[in-house]
Chains A and B, each alone.
Chain A
């Protein structure tokens, strides 16, 4: 319990740091990109929206830093992230609310699946060190060195086209209304196959490698030799003794590298025009839509923190030592 409380405190601290970063970045940079956005849209924005943007991006120069900071927090806690200019005049929170399920569905599921699959393959590769499996390691290195988005481009070029089963862009058939029915769900699944496969191929090899290396390290421990000497079956030693202990560093590695992985997988959405956060971020960059960019950064950070907390719970279940004391 103490472990979880500590971790939660740390994540709260991180969330605070991220929000403060978000507060500071537009204030440290010279020039007022948002001011020019507002003046370009003069007359189309309501006074309320202008006031909220002024708080978010620090356009009120007469206030001191501390007052700005307090105002900023008040507004963030009310869920007001400003107006999106890409989807004018929709609030940023609505845009994010619409695209979040897509990203959680695609990136969340593929990240977990790639971790599980990669770890399982790594157990095999590490246990049979020196067999033909080792020859595959350079290939996985090559695959993991390819940028996610480029693999996506190749996948589109090879697998899509007129008459192909795989659509090349979008999250569902245009014309369908998002709902859980027999038309929408199969279409959404069909659109997610290629992006998911792309993410799987390029993210899995990292897990294979780290798990293999942990297995190799663990399998020379004394307790493995003892387990063999007891006459336990090969399978039991591999899974119950070696893999179980090798898994722990991999799980904590998973939690720590989530931030990196999520950043990479967002790019896959861009290539496939998948209606998730990554694609919105891309569009926001194109339109210089700072409120949307900052909002997306905040949401991604918070999601990664929540995922980290879940990984910590998993760690707690796997490692009895953390439950003691």
Chain B
């Protein structure tokens, strides 16, 4: 059994758990802020917050009723209609603002449901092992291999005019498998650690070991799985609306694209009809992906894109920094080494 660094620093005075109590709050704070220090994560979170705000206030700030018809048929963007109008004179900006809520709500519900399922299946399988593990892993692998989108399409199509909530539930029930697989793998590696063994040896109940010893260490993976599922759920919802399976009477960005496609917006050159909705989707997807990169880099520092990788030294040579190498720079302009002791380019 190896001693992990974290258990080492607990016994070194002045560090870890033995540190004077006054230092603890600042350390914790710094650790929490370290995630935000990541530019990608911050950008993603700010954009996400913007979408969240839109989802809340969108229907109130929309300048027109998204269903209201008007005489301005198929107008390009102008002062009165910022994103132009549809074939019925409906305001596209209003449709996008109103649709944001449906997209965000479905993404959130499906994400939460799928994450809960993946924790339930993945952590249970990883922790219990044996026959339970075999069975649960087989189920999640089956769900992974079966093409998710066609499955969602046939399930949703059987229900007439599926509501947002139902779509979210269907997506949530089919999208948990990937998260479960990742969580299982991580739980497997955690459950033999010393502190888990110790908890078990002191007679903690199974649910308490899982809830208080294992789950906190899975937080980053759960978060990244959640974000991934939200991306998938948003895309699936929009796709369902785009091919006209879910209810076409409520607005989301897929519905806008559904009408644009059905009314030959392309052939009529009405680019404003489908471009804003697509960009809104892409920006939301990018923001979520950036948050995920932030989490990944937070967990595994190797993935961070280092600062400058080429460094110019005082004597004008350039050294390329690489993982696994420690460049050693000669002090002065390298006179011919008399005893040949110093390495030239510092390779170990």
Contacts and interface: CB of A to CB of B under 8 A. Distances in A.
B291 to A, nearest CB: 11
B9 to A, nearest CB: 22
Contact of B157 (A267, A290, A308): A290
Of the listed residues A146, A150, A285, A305, the one surrounded by the most CB atoms of chain B closer than 10 A to its CB is A150
Given A130-B321, A286-B244, A293-B153, A267 B306 contact: no
B306 A18 contact: no
B275 A154 contact: yes
A47 interface: no
Interface in B24-72: 40
A216 B303 contact: yes
Given A129-B309, A267-B239, A285 B145 contact: no
B137 to A, nearest CB: 10
A129 B290 CA distance: 18
Interface stretch (A89-97, A114-122, A189-197, A296-304): A296-304
Interface string A1-40: 0000000001101100110011001100101010000000
A263 B147 contact: yes
Contacts of A10: 138, 141
Interface stretch (B83-91, B96-104, B202-210, B277-285): B277-285
Given A25-B155, A220-B302, A294-B154, A145 B146 contact: no
B306 A130 contact: yes
A139 B138 CA distance: 37
Of the listed residues A13, A22, A263, the one surrounded by the most CB atoms of chain B closer than 10 A to its CB is A263
Query: Looking at chain B's contact residues, is the secondary structure mostly helix, strand, loop, or mixed?
Result: helix
Given A129-B306, A129-B323, A285-B157, A154 B145 contact: no
A128 B160 CA distance: 53
Interface residues of B, number: 65
Interface string B103-140: 00000000000000000000000000000000000100
Contacts of A144: 285, 289
Contacts of A129: 305-306, 309, 322-323
A153 interface: yes
Contacts of A258: 145, 147
A229 to B, nearest CB: 7
Contact of A156 (B266, B275, B289, B296): B266
B242 to A, nearest CB: 6
Given A157-B266, A225-B324, A301-B147, A146 B306 contact: no
Interface in B140-159: 141-142, 144-151, 153-155, 157-159
Given A150-B274, A225-B348, A260-B232, 8 more contacts: A10-B138, A22-B154, A137-B305, A150-B281, A153-B266, A213-B296, A217-B300, A294-B154
20 contacts: A10-B141, A21-B151, A29-B158, A31-B160, A33-B160, A138-B286, A138-B290, A141-B293, A142-B286, A154-B275, A220-B302, A229-B347, A256-B144, A258-B147, A263-B149, A282-B243, A285-B157, A293-B153, A297-B151, A297-B154
7 cross-chain pairs, A with B, having the tightest CB-CB distances, nearest first: A145-B285, A263-B149, A130-B309, A150-B278, A220-B323, A259-B147, A146-B282
Interface of A: 10-11, 13-14, 17-18, 21-22, 25-26, 29, 31, 33, 129-131, 134, 137-138, 141-142, 144-147, 149-150, 153-154, 156-157, 168, 213, 216-217, 219-222, 224-225, 228-229, 256, 258-260, 262-264, 266-267, 270-271, 281-282, 285-286, 288, 290, 293-294, 296-297, 300-301, 304-305, 308
